């Protein structure tokens, strides 16, 4: 080995100093972070992710700021509502640093400041509401908190992206009272629904009876119309028979008159005989006249069909023999 002379040692020292100087001035900023640079204690610029150079021993790294979206757990606290109900509330907040310089030099302890800002506004916003509104309007509460806290944190270079109320816990006695109220409300709705069902049932039953009565009336009207039509046809038949009888009388045919009277008389006797209360049938003295009328009927038949028509029974399926001759 060759001994180093003084000039060689000095050269090596200079090289080492240059290497150290370069290493001190080269900075690698990771993704998701931004570093502030201070020169003699004063902020000068911000280093973005990647390979960066600073002047060693003159510039130094001030704050290494996380610019990713971060979560801050808002600790639980008691809030007194507008109607003097005490509830325990906790939440969660998401924020992102947009300006590392302002977040580093405009506020001390950014996380604690945001925490206290959120807790203060939670008490303010939720304390101005009734308990019922508090429990049923979480979306409105979250929106109001986000607007207020974001506006307050804007001078710090921070963007509050979301605030959520995780839990609202009323006292146990209040929870029990709310349970009883809910039960009473459900029972009330059940009674109302049952009454409404009975009302609908009565309405439907009344509608059914109405339709039944309408159909019954329609049936009676149709029956009355048909009865009237039958009576009209019967009257027409009676009129026709009377007309024919009048023509027979006018022609001097007494047998026709006897036949007509005998038929009416027999029908009257039939009505008396078939009466449900009839036990004994007493024939009047005019019965012999009826027999005479029947004899007249026989004469009419002989005149119409021949002398053998009365004595000979009718033939089934056959035709009446002609009398012409």
Q: How far apart are CA 95 and CA 81, in angstroms?
A: 27
Q: Helix, strand or coil for residue 79?
A: strand
Q: Tokens for 154, please give them.
A: 């804007």
Q: Tokens for 168, please give them.
A: 């609202």
Residue 293's alpha-carbon distances to 53, 199, 256, 268, 301, in angstroms, are: 151, 72, 9, 15, 12
Locate tokens 């304390």: which residue?
Answer: 127
Q: What is the pLDDT of residue 242?
A: 75
What H or E segment, with its residue span, contains residue 66? Answer: strand 59-66
**Radius of gyration from C-alpha coordinates of the chain:** 60
267-276, Cβ contacts within 8 angstroms, sequence gap of 24 or more: none
Q: What is the pLDDT of residue 85?
A: 86
3-state helix, strand, coil in the chain (%, to 5): 60, 20, 25
Q: What is the pLDDT of residue 293?
A: 54
Q: Tokens for 43, please give them.
A: 């902020």
Locate tokens 């808002």: which residue?
Answer: 74
Q: CB count, 10 Å around CB of 21?
A: 13
Q: Tokens for 7, please give them.
A: 């000039």
Contact 154, 96 (CB under 8 A): no
How many alpha carbons fall within 13 Å on the CB side of residue 9? 5
Q: Helix, strand or coil for residue 106?
A: coil
Q: What is the pLDDT of residue 72?
A: 94
pLDDT tens-digit readout, 257-306: 666 666 666 676 666 666 666 556 555 555 555 555 555 555 554 555 45
Q: Tokens for 258, please give them.
A: 């006897």
Q: How far apart are CA 230 and CA 218, in angstroms?
A: 18
Q: What is the pLDDT of residue 3?
A: 54
Instruction: Give the pairing type, strands 59-66 and 33-39.
Output: antiparallel
What H or E segment, with its residue span, contains residue 52? Answer: strand 50-53
Contact 96, 158 (CB under 8 A): yes
Q: Tokens for 130, please give them.
A: 């009734």
Q: What is the pLDDT of residue 324?
A: 40
Each residue's pLDDT expressed in tens, for the chain with a length of 325 residues: 445 556 778 788 888 887 788 888 889 999 999 999 999 889 999 999 999 989 888 899 999 999 999 999 999 999 998 888 889 999 999 999 999 999 999 999 999 999 999 999 999 999 888 888 888 888 999 999 999 999 999 999 999 999 999 888 887 877 777 788 888 888 898 999 989 998 898 899 898 888 888 988 888 888 888 888 888 888 888 787 777 767 776 766 666 666 666 666 667 666 666 666 655 655 555 555 555 555 555 555 455 545 554 444 444 434 334 334 3
Is this model's pTM higher than 0.75 or not? Answer: no
> What single-letter DSSP state applies at residue 81?
-
Q: What is the pLDDT of residue 15?
A: 80
Query: Which neighbouring-strand residues pair with 93?
Result: 72, 163
């Amino acid at each position: 080995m060759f001994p180093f002379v003084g000039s060689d040692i000095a050269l090596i020292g200079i090289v080492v100093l240059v290497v150290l100087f370069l290493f001190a001035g080269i900075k690698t900023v990771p993704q998701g972070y931004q570093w502030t640079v201070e020169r003699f204690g004063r902020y000068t610029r911000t280093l973005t992710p990647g390979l960066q150079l600073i002047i060693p021993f003159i510039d130094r790294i001030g704050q290494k700021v996380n610019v990713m979206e971060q979560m801050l757990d808002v600790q639980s606290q008691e809030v007194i509502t507008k109607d003097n109900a005490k509830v325990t509330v906790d939440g969660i907040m998401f924020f992102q640093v947009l300006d590392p310089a302002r977040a580093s030099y405009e506020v001390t302890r950014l996380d604690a400041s945001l925490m206290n800002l959120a807790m203060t506004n939670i008490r303010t916003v939720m304390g101005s509401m009734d308990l019922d509104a508090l429990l049923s309007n979480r979306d409105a509460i979250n929106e109001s908190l986000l607007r207020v806290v974001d506006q307050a944190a804007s001078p710090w270079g921070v963007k509050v992206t979301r605030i959520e109320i995780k839990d609202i816990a009323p006292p146990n006695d209040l929870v029990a009272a709310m349970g009883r109220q809910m039960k009473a409300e459900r029972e009330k709705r059940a009674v109302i629904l049952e009454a409404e069902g009975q009302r609908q049932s009565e309405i439907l039953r009344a509608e059914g009876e109405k339709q039944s009565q309408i159909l019954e009336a329609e049936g009676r009207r149709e029956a009355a119309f048909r009865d009237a039509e039958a009576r009209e046809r019967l009257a027409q038949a009676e009129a026709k028979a009377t007309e024919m009888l009048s023509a027979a009388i006018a022609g001097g045919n007494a047998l026709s008159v006897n036949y007509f009277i005998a038929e009416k008389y027999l029908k009257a006797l039939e009505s008396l005989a078939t009466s449900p209360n009839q036990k004994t049938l007493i024939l009047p003295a005019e019965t012999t006249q009826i027999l005479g009328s029947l004899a007249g009927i026989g004469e009419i038949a002989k005149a119409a069909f021949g002398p053998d028509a009365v004595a000979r029974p009718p033939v089934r399926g056959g035709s009446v023999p002609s009398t012409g001759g």
